[in-house]
């Protein structure tokens, strides 16, 4: 894809999103029907690009947690480090408003490689966020549905996520369940 004659660098191959069996295997219900190739009027769903630095991507993330003062150089360095992982381990999808050219939604799938289960990989879904102006338009559902299908497509044997109690009903829509006896434990080195 080229914007103003400048070739875009995607975090991962956009074809992966186009090839998802979304219509057959989506988990949530959509009224009206939307999907990865048609997320809604004037919206585009695609992998994260370097140019999203200028499209409010980091500001969107501030709705989740502290982001800090990240320079373009730091952003590009981190982006390129993610692109270079082989096989690809980072899958951030964004939704862009084609009129304002702002990123209005995003979520990330991280693929972890292990030795267990015959060198299996597992997925983790992180940083699901939709700009408050765009909430209630099914975009959060679309992001989670897309990444859940993508986790299977890229070979994860399971996919998990962490969330607050009030988000459990949201993620239950996609087949996520609280596993009996399993606890999430965390040790922080910096304050929340």
Ligand X SMILES: CC(C)(COP(=O)(O)OP(=O)(O)OC[C@H]1O[C@@H](n2cnc3c(N)ncnc32)[C@H](O)[C@@H]1OP(=O)(O)O)[C@@H](O)C(=O)NCCC(=O)NCCS
Residues that bind ligand X (CB under 6 A): 63-64, 128-130, 135-141, 163, 166-167, 169-170
Q: How far is the CB of 107 from ligand X (least distance, A)?
A: 8
DSSP labels for 131-166? -GGGTTSSHHHHHHHHHHHHHHHTTEEEEEE---GG
Q: How far is the CB of 9 from ligand X (least distance, A)?
A: 26
The closest residue (CB) to ligand X is 140
Give the span between the Cα atoms of 156 and 62, in whole angstroms.
29
Q: Name beta bridge partners: 130.
A: 105
The residue with tokens 């975009």 is 139
Q: Cβ of 43: how many Cβ atoms within 10 Å?
A: 19
Q: Based on C-alpha coordinates, what's the Rg of the chain?
A: 17
Q: How far is the CB of 154 from ligand X (least distance, A)?
A: 21
Pairing of the two strands 102-113 and 90-97: antiparallel
Phi, psi of 6 (to 5 degrees): -100, 125
Q: Smaller CB distance to ligand X: residue 17 or 125? A: 125
Q: Smaller CB distance to ligand X: residue 10 or 170? A: 170
Q: Cβ of 166: how many Cβ atoms within 10 Å?
A: 7
Q: How far is the CB of 22 from ligand X (least distance, A)?
A: 15
Conformational region of residue 131, where left means phi above 0, alpha means psi within -120 to 50, and beta covers everything else: beta
Q: Smaller CB distance to ligand X: residue 129 or 150? A: 129
Q: How far is the CB of 149 from ligand X (least distance, A)?
A: 15
Q: How far is the CB of 134 from ligand X (least distance, A)?
A: 7
């Amino acid at each position: 894809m080229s914007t103003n004659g400048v070739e875009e660098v995607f975090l991962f191959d956009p074809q992966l999103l186009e090839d998802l069996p979304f219509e057959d295997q989506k988990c949530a219900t959509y009224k009206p029907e939307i999907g990865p190739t048609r997320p809604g009027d004037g919206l585009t769903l695609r992998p994260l690009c370097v140019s999203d630095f200028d499209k409010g991507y980091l500001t969107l993330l501030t709705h989740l947690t502290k982001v800090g003062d990240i320079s373009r150089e730091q952003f590009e360095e981190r982006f390129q480090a993610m692109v270079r992982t082989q096989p690809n381990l980072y899958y951030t999808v964004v939704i862009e408003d084609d009129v304002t050219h702002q990123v209005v939604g995003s979520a990330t799938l991280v693929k972890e490689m292990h030795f267990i289960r015959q060198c299996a990989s597992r997925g983790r879904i992180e940083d699901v966020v939709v700009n408050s102006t765009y909430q209630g338009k099914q975009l959060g559902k679309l992001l989670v549905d897309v990444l859940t299908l993508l986790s299977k497509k890229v070979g994860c044997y399971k996919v998990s996520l962490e969330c607050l109690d009030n988000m459990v009903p949201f993620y239950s829509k996609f087949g996520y369940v609280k596993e009996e006896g399993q606890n999430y434990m965390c040790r922080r080195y910096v304050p929340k």
